[in-house]
Amino acid sequence: MSRRSPETDTEEMTRLLTRSRALGAELDTMMSRGEYKAMGPKLDERERVLAQVATLKGHQKENDHNAWRNKLAGGAPIVEYQSAERGADGQRFGGEDGRALDRYLRTGEIDRGALTVNEGHVEIPEHMIMQVAQDPYGGYAVRPTLAQKALVDAQAQGALRSAGAPERICDGDSYEEVIVTGDTAEWAPEIPDGTENTNPSVKLWMAQIHKVRDLQFMTEQQREDQHVDLTEAVIFNSVDQARRMEDTGLVNGSGIGLEPLGMLNASDLVTPIDIDGTTANTVSNTAANLGSAPKLVTLMGQLPSRFHDGACWMMAGATFAAIRSLIDAEGRPYFPETFTGQVLAGHPVILNDAVPVGGTNGNKVVIFGNFARGFRIVRKPAGIAIRILNERFSDRDLIGIRMIYRVGGGAILPQAFRVGAV
């Protein structure tokens, strides 16, 4: 096979880098719009483009077998490597990944003789591939594309994100946003009469960033004997933990210690509306006493009309089941639409077990509001950082998989929500 000319490589590199930047811009736009489920194909395409870029860079390097062996022996920078488990046609990763491997080869405990070179590419097992986007020093970690897909998976499944809560990125330990509250417009005379409303309407909303940590373990034997990718399975379990912590903390967090203050416990929450039923402290009714049913309709009507377009309900599954059980005076379902879909009074229902259930006096069991306009989720730009700890627990024959996720948020416009309590 004839070698590609440097000119051809340069033109192809320019094309690929342009496509990579375009895909990056599309992903940023989709992220800002909350279109998480649609991001997967774009991430896959960008990974393929970056792999082609890495391959072209390899054409510009000294790739013969002896040169690579000399570099490994002497500790010179390794620019590119390939996963042995992907085979001869597998994707090749370079750039920061290569520099991370180089650092580990210089300082870590690894049998360099066990590494092989195929067509100028260092081959290492898939589980040893490193990434430095979130964790630049030490240990093995997953590829950046897997970490990004894990973040997208968490965003696509989270209750708050399903409700439309937008995300903001914050570099520091807290996030600030200017908001304008209240109804400030008024009818005024043609000639100014000094009766303008001078009450301040501009406020500064702030959210603190909190750290979520998850550490899970598998044995060395489990990884060696695995017939499926156990590491990836554990990682996505950690991601699910992060998603649930986000939904729990930002909705019903106590604000005590390291836990964020959830919207249901915030001091500026609109006064809860009583939806107590015929059985004390529950959502319930009978044919003779409609109990909670008309109260839910009243709650919905108290939300300002400007927030109804895009509004949804949020509650625990047990509460939704109780609402399905409500009946009218004839014994028929009061909300029949709940039996044909996850809908209540024409608005979608988002299930979130972080919302309390009935049984205790004063529990806030139902939220109705516009999360897209009234809520913010704030996270660090690194997203979810995942690190595989091969050595730290080796004396117990264990491999640790640590997940770190930094997130905060809350209700930026409390008037965009109404809450029902029993």
Alpha-carbon dihedral angle through residues 174, 177, 183, 186, given to the nearest 10 degrees: 150
Looking at residue 296, what is its pLDDT? 97
Distance CA 61, CA 83 (A): 18
* Mean residue pLDDT across the chain: 76
Per-residue pLDDT, averaged over 139-149, amounts to 55
- What is the distance, to the nearest Å, from the Cα of residue 279 to the centroid of all Cα atoms in its chain? 39
Residue 131: closest CA among 117, 118, 150: 150
Percent of the chain with pLDDT over 90: 33
Q: How confident is the model at residue 42 (pLDDT cuts 50, 70, 90)?
A: confident
Residue 124: closest CA among 143, 144, 137: 143
User: DSSP string covering 200-217, please?
Assistant: --EEEEEEE-EEEEEEEE
Percent of the chain with pLDDT over 70: 70
Would you list the domain boundaries of the chain? 6-142, 143-181+201-422
More confident residue, 299 or 58: 299
- For residue 63, pLDDT over 90 is answered with no
pLDDT digits (tens, 9 = 90+) for 368-421: 999 999 999 998 877 777 777 777 777 788 888 888 888 999 999 999 999 999
- Report H helices in 60-182: 65-74, 96-107, 144-157, 159-162
b/e string for 388-417 if b means 16 or more Cβ within 10 A? bbbeeeeeeeebbbbbbbbbbbbbbbbbbb
Classified by CATH at the fold level, domain 143-181+201-422 comes out as Major capsid protein gp5 fold (3.30.2400)
Percent of residues in the chain assigned helix, strand, coil, to nearest 5: 40, 25, 35
pLDDT digits (tens, 9 = 90+) for 221-255: 776 666 556 667 777 788 888 888 999 999 999 99
pLDDT digits (tens, 9 = 90+) for 178-219: 887 777 777 888 887 777 777 777 888 888 999 998 888 888
Rounded to 5°, the CA angle 27-352-33 comes to 20
Distance CA 414, CA 271 (A): 10
Distance CA 347, CA 358 (A): 22
More confident residue, 97 or 27: 27
Looking at residue 422, what is its pLDDT? 96
Residue carrying structure tokens 């373990």: 217
Question: How many residues does the structure list for the chain?
Answer: 422
Residue 151: closest CA among 420, 417, 405: 405
Whether the pTM exceeds 0.75: the reply is no
- For residue 305, pLDDT over 90 is answered with yes
pLDDT digits (tens, 9 = 90+) for 71-114: 444 443 333 333 333 333 333 334 444 444 444 444 443 444 44
Longest dimension (CA), the chain: 89
Residue 122: closest CA among 72, 160, 161, 163: 72
Residue 293: closest CA among 304, 302, 282, 303: 282
Distance CA 198, CA 284 (A): 46
- For residue 338, pLDDT over 70 is answered with yes
- For residue 128, pLDDT over 90 is answered with no
- For residue 7, pLDDT over 50 is answered with yes
Residue carrying structure tokens 């919302």: 355
Per-residue pLDDT, averaged over 255-273, amounts to 92
- For residue 365, pLDDT over 90 is answered with yes
User: DSSP string covering 285-346, please?
Assistant: --SS--THHHHHHHHHHTS-GGGTTT-EEEE-HHHHHHHHT-B-TTSSBSSGGGGTSSEETT
**Which of 15-29, 163-177, 256-270, 333-347 is the least confident region?**
15-29
Name beta bridge partners: 388. Answer: 140, 401
**Which of 131-135, 185-189, 205-209, 289-293 is the least confident region?**
131-135
Looking at residue 419, what is its pLDDT? 97
For CA atoms 105, 107, 109, 111, give the dihedral sign. Answer: positive
Name beta bridge partners: 400. Answer: 217, 389
Terminal-to-terminal C-alpha distance of the chain: 76
